[in-house]
Amino acid sequence: MGTDVRRDLMNKCNLHTILRLPTGIFYAQGVKTNVLFFTKGTEANKYQEENCTENVWVYESAYQYAKLW
């Protein structure tokens, strides 16, 4: 079930941003937290259902810098 949901999100949605929060911000120390931002389809075609993710912007909030992957 979880695998299917993740696969659908990666195929049918554009993963455009990953926000990496400092370790232990929500749970015990040592637990990493990432916030994923998706948009359905692509900018050109919101109904596209395959290969929607092209570039992912990653923001490392612990280090306060960003990079494009």
pTM of the model: 0.71
Helix (H, G, I), strand (E, B) or coil at 17: strand
Domain count for the chain, please give it: 1
Q: In what order do the strands lie in the sheet containing 33-40?
A: 33-40, 13-21, 57-60, 65-68
What pLDDT does 24 receive? 74
pLDDT at residue 64 is higher than 70: no
Show the domain range for 56.
2-68
pLDDT recorded at residue 68? 55
Q: What is the pLDDT of residues 3-60, one digit of tens each?
A: 898 888 888 888 899 998 887 777 777 788 889 999 888 777 877 878 878 888 998 8
